[in-house]
Structure 1
Amino acid sequence: MSLSSISAITSSLAAEQGLAALEARVKQDLEWLALPAKRWLPQQSDAQAQDVAIIGAGMAGLAAAFALRLQGIDAVLYDKAPKDYEGPWATTARMETLRSPKHLTGPALDIPSLTFRAWYEAQFGLDAWDALDKIPRLQWAAYLRWYREVLALDVRNDHALTGLNLQDPQRVGLTFSHHNETRRVSARKVILAIGMDAFGGPAIPDFVADVPKQFWAHSEEAIDFAALAGRRIAVVGGSATAMDVSATALEAGAAGVELLIRRPDFPRVNLSKGAGNPGFEAGYFNLPDEWKWRLAQHIATVQIPPPHGSTLRVSRHPNAWFNFNAPVERVETRQEGIVVHTPQGEVPVDFLILATGYALNWHARPEFNALVDQVKTWGDAWQPPADKQNAQLASYPYLGADFAFQAKHDDSPSSLARLHCFSYPALLSNGHVVGLIPGISQGARTLAQHIAGQLYFEDREHHYQAIIHYDDPELLGDEWQPAVPYAWRER
């Protein structure tokens, strides 16, 4: 056996031992904090009835489940992906590293031993942590898998939500497709932790409507980048995702990448970072609607620059070209490829990748048909000035402090309030505490506390009776002897 093989085995054993010690520390930390709380909800009589169901077992879903566990509430998580492929990290995300600073604690909910840093140092040591710049994407995916396992969260994979039933005011009916079989459950509370494309999907521009699918893909799709080796690629957009797919294509051997960016230049400052403080996370919901809209609309207008490192990952290739003032006017098929028409001229390529983000469209997802024209949106709640309009923001759900949907009409199903939107579209109502690493613990904690309080209120008769009939005696009657009457003691 070679020295390198022995070294690799030794490192692997050390990592396993380090993780085992960390997992023992997680258990100890929770014991020291007297967490999680004991179950206090009444038992469900129906095996298919659950207290809380969470749709989505990515970072947001896992954080919400753990926050509920700390409150003494068990949740079942359903995810359409196979085990270990929840969320985008090991599938459609293509960045080399996360964009957030490595020190952010993410979904740890103030448990130090649950942080990424603790997980990383347990395997690689403090020197490796100090040398780390940003968190590698696939290591973050591995960390989330460990988080799920060490907390023993109940994740049920290969469950695709196919429908919601809101007829019962006391619970929400859920229908899933699981390995081509239909499964139905119900839950008193449902958390929708379904990510960036919640209630919609990829934004597909009209200019590809008549272009054969063999010539284009959206960045959200699974793209065979190896098949793009030696081919000319155009990428529409100037976002972080545009940089990621461009770099991935170039690294796979693409003959060249033309980035088609409609703006005259990149924005230079990420304004969202300026909002990162505890006051913003805790106080955002209480801002007037006017202020919430002002913030979101301004950031959407100015836009967010792609990260420094992601941009350098593209520009280091001599066959990458940044075309500004180049919005796509139309695309035509020509011989074996396509031609993209822009104000800067024609761009002949073999394949087009759309890094055009997501669009919320309440009619686009059949599984959410029960919500169409029933959920109150920001367009229903707030009318901004003419120069501050934004159709996409107007389509976002107008949520309560508990992330719950609000009724659009007086006759909308009352069970809408049992659905909690812990997904990206909640950002406008509730702030940067959903789907983003910096605020996810704050959001999960707020969500769990609201749900705990609401369930207690609903079960108040049960809890009242439990108090009335509580029979664990503090005193047994043998702790003292009754005194002899005072007058007798004077004789």
Structure 2
Amino acid sequence: MTSLDALEHRLREDLRWLELPPASWVPPRFVDQARVLDVAIVGGGMAGLTASAELRWLGIDNQQVFDRAPTGGEGPWVTYARMETLRSPKTLTGPALRLPALTFRAWYEAQFGRPAWDALYKIPRTQWMDYLRWYRKVLALPVQNHTALVALRTRDDGLLALDLNTQGTQRTVLARHVVLATGRDGLGGPYVPDFAQRVASRLWAHSADAIDFEALRGKRVGVVGAGASAFDNAATALETGAASVDLFIRRSDIPRINKLTGIGSPGLVHGFADLDDASKWRFLHYSLASQTPPPRDSVLRVSRHENARFHLGSPVIALEEHADGLEVTTPKGRYTLDFLIFATGFHSDISTRPEFAQFAPYVRRWKDRYRADPALPMEELAESPDLGAAYVFQEREPGTCAALAQIHCFNHAASLSHGKLSGDIPAISEGAQRLARGIASRLFDADRERHYDALVAFATAELQGDEWTDADADTSPAAESPPAVPLHQQD
């Protein structure tokens, strides 16, 4: 038995001792003789896997995870994430759901030993993906790959319909609850300044796009942004052989302090959702305005190249296409490039996603009911969905789309309502537990009459009636009732 086999044996023992998973308890529902899913999860990355595991451990096993990527390619880790290592400390337990044998550390030490763990600086990005593949396998989570959500629709019978495309085959499945574990661009998509649309798309890309860096060998490349992804993409271009890379940074200095790290605690994890609206806005506004600094390693990965140039205080104010390439204009000058990468983040405007078009107009956003302090404006926060408990959408106008209460926004867009529990490694387990418990509560409530009928009908006796004697019962012969005399024998 290998060390990894031994770890998996221990995990099975832990689950057995904890009596996990429990027996399924949700009464089945059928439409046209087909079983309705209790929960459908869109997205098989870290958030979707963690949610699926916790739901199963609450006895909700009639579930399915759908992901458009091929097996092993879910999430950003082996697609558009281009850092060498994770930014999070290696000691974070991530999706382990409080089970030591399910942590990355346990998985790593089982294969490479304790000395290798002690020597490890940070978790290599692709190795994290290897761990998530193992996580899915060892827990036997129900993920269906190559399956894209075409549309999510509400129905008059209270169910949700998911129109799916699996490698060209169209089908529809029904579910009682749907979890959107759709990552950083969960409800919106990559943000690109409007002026980018005025030049040929072959000359630029967003950092989340599939970029052919080999095609940039010997080219003049520019990167817009000062976040971690800006430096990851700049470094990748330089390491692949770009002739030069110019980084255009709006700020006069690169952010240096990760403010939220300074108050990271269980208090923040569990207390943020209960703050008043003004406090939530103030906390996240300050954090986003301060901006998370890129890791020191990521910056050094770029600055060690002599052909890397940093332009601070240089927002891009114009972009023009010429015969010689792209001309980028900033307040400090003009620069000619062959290709430009926008590492400009994501937006959360749900109206831009065609698969959500049927219900998106009814979703309440923060800007629909909350007026922020004029001194703290931020469109990114204003566009955030105003979520209820268990990450559910809420109606902009009461009574217009009750089914929103069965759609759970378990992705980055939930941050203003619930805190950073639905996408980042540090608190993904706590986020999944909050989500799963909320779904369990709603499923039980929706079937309360069936559960009550089951309560009344339950008739398995634990006692037979011969286990005791009534000390006050009169057992003398005289106390016995005389036998009944038939009527025809009576006088």
TM-score normalised by the chain length of structure 2: 0.94
In structure 1, C-alpha distance between the alignment counterparts of 2:400 and 2:53, rounded to whole Å: 31
Structure 1 residue aligned with 2:29: 44
Q: How does 1:249-260 map to 2 (within 5 A)?
A: 249-260=237-248
Q: How does 1:326-405 map to 2 (within 5 A)?
A: 326-405=314-393
User: CA offset at residue 485 of structure 1?
Assistant: 5.5
Of residues 26, 36, 56 in structure 2, which corresponds to 1:69? Answer: 56
Structure 2 residue aligned with 1:19: 4
In structure 1, C-alpha distance between the alignment counterparts of 2:30 and 2:382, rounded to whole Å: 41
Of residues 300, 325, 332 in structure 2, which corresponds to 1:312? Answer: 300
In structure 1, C-alpha distance between the alignment counterparts of 2:403 and 2:227, rounded to whole Å: 38
User: CA offset at residue 481 of structure 1?
Assistant: 6.2
Structure 2 residue aligned with 1:53: 40
User: CA offset at residue 480 of structure 1?
Assistant: 4.8
* Aligned 8 A contact 2:316 2:328 in 1: yes
In structure 1, C-alpha distance between the alignment counterparts of 2:156 and 2:94, rounded to whole Å: 36
* Aligned 8 A contact 1:26 1:113 in 2: yes
In structure 1, C-alpha distance between the alignment counterparts of 2:154 and 2:30, rounded to whole Å: 20
Of residues 10, 17, 22 in structure 2, which corresponds to 1:32? Answer: 17
Aligned Cα root-mean-square deviation (Å): 1.6
Matched residue of 1:233: which SS?
A: strand
- The answer to whether the aligner puts 1:148 opposite 2:133 as a matched pair is no
Q: How does 1:56-135 map to 2 (within 5 A)?
A: 56-74=43-61, 75-135=63-123
Percent identity over paired residues: 49
Matched residue of 1:376: which SS?
A: coil
- The answer to whether the aligner puts 1:411 opposite 2:399 as a matched pair is yes
In structure 2, C-alpha distance between the alignment counterparts of 1:162 and 1:486, rounded to whole Å: 76
> Please, which moves more after superposition, 59-68 or 172-181?
172-181
In structure 2, C-alpha distance between the alignment counterparts of 1:209 and 1:21, rounded to whole Å: 55
Deviation track 1:366-407 (CA, whole Å, cap 9, x = no partner) reads 101023320011001210121111112101000012100000
In structure 2, C-alpha distance between the alignment counterparts of 1:98 and 1:437, rounded to whole Å: 10
Structure 2 residue aligned with 1:4: none
Matched residue of 2:30: which SS?
A: coil
Q: How many residues align?
A: 474
In structure 2, C-alpha distance between the alignment counterparts of 1:399 and 1:76, rounded to whole Å: 23
Deviation track 1:323-353 (CA, whole Å, cap 9, x = no partner) reads 1011111122222422211111111111111
Structure 2 residue aligned with 1:165: 153
User: CA offset at residue 477 of structure 1?
Assistant: 4.0
Of residues 168, 171, 189 in structure 1, which corresponds to 2:177? Answer: 189
In structure 2, C-alpha distance between the alignment counterparts of 1:21 and 1:327, rounded to whole Å: 54
> Please, which moves more after superposition, 256-265 or 336-345?
336-345
User: CA offset at residue 476 of structure 1?
Assistant: 3.1
Structure 2 residue aligned with 1:13: none
- The answer to whether the aligner puts 1:301 opposite 2:297 as a matched pair is no
- The answer to whether the aligner puts 1:448 opposite 2:436 as a matched pair is yes
* Aligned 8 A contact 1:169 1:415 in 2: no
- The answer to whether the aligner puts 1:243 opposite 2:231 as a matched pair is yes
> Please, which moves more after superposition, 215-224 or 198-207?
198-207
In structure 2, C-alpha distance between the alignment counterparts of 1:43 and 1:478, rounded to whole Å: 38
Cα distance change, pair 200–388 in 1 and its aligned pair in 2 (3 A): same
Deviation track 1:393-443 (CA, whole Å, cap 9, x = no partner) reads 101000012100000012321001000000101000001111010110101
Of residues 415, 422, 428 in structure 2, which corresponds to 1:427? Answer: 415
> Please, which moves more after superposition, 93-102 or 404-413?
404-413
Structure 2 residue aligned with 1:267: 255
Letter of the 1:421 partner, please give it. Answer: C
Letter of the 2:56 partner, please give it. Answer: R
Structure 2 residue aligned with 1:291: 279
User: CA offset at residue 270 of structure 1?
Assistant: 0.5
Letter of the 2:28 partner, please give it. Answer: Q
Deviation track 1:6-35 (CA, whole Å, cap 9, x = no partner) reads xxxxxxxxxx81221111111001011111
User: CA offset at residue 145 of structure 1?
Assistant: 0.7
In structure 1, C-alpha distance between the alignment counterparts of 2:4 and 2:217, rounded to whole Å: 40
User: CA offset at residue 488 of structure 1?
Assistant: 5.5
* Aligned 8 A contact 2:251 2:312 in 1: yes
In structure 1, C-alpha distance between the alignment counterparts of 2:149 and 2:157, rounded to whole Å: 20
Cα distance change, pair 405–485 in 1 and its aligned pair in 2 (3 A): closer
Letter of the 1:42 partner, please give it. Answer: P
Listed as ranges, the gaps of 5+ residues in structure 2 are 478-491
Letter of the 2:165 partner, please give it. Answer: S
* Aligned 8 A contact 2:363 2:394 in 1: yes
Letter of the 1:20 partner, please give it. Answer: D
Deviation track 1:101-130 (CA, whole Å, cap 9, x = no partner) reads 101000110011000001100100000000
In structure 1, C-alpha distance between the alignment counterparts of 2:169 and 2:74, rounded to whole Å: 20
Listed as ranges, the gaps of 5+ residues in structure 1 are 1-15
- The answer to whether the aligner puts 1:474 opposite 2:462 as a matched pair is yes
User: CA offset at residue 240 of structure 1?
Assistant: 0.3
Cα distance change, pair 487–360 in 1 and its aligned pair in 2 (3 A): closer
In structure 2, C-alpha distance between the alignment counterparts of 1:427 and 1:274, rounded to whole Å: 18
In structure 1, C-alpha distance between the alignment counterparts of 2:474 and 2:197, rounded to whole Å: 100
Matched residue of 1:373: which SS?
A: helix
Please identify the structure whose Cα radius of gyration is greater. 2
Deviation track 1:243-297 (CA, whole Å, cap 9, x = no partner) reads 1000111111111110000110011100121231001111111100000000111
In structure 1, C-alpha distance between the alignment counterparts of 2:472 and 2:392, rounded to whole Å: 63
- The answer to whether the aligner puts 1:464 opposite 2:452 as a matched pair is yes
- The answer to whether the aligner puts 1:175 opposite 2:163 as a matched pair is yes
Matched residue of 1:370: which SS?
A: coil
In structure 1, C-alpha distance between the alignment counterparts of 2:383 and 2:321, rounded to whole Å: 34
* Aligned 8 A contact 1:169 1:413 in 2: no
In structure 1, C-alpha distance between the alignment counterparts of 2:105 and 2:443, rounded to whole Å: 35
In structure 2, C-alpha distance between the alignment counterparts of 1:487 and 1:464, rounded to whole Å: 40
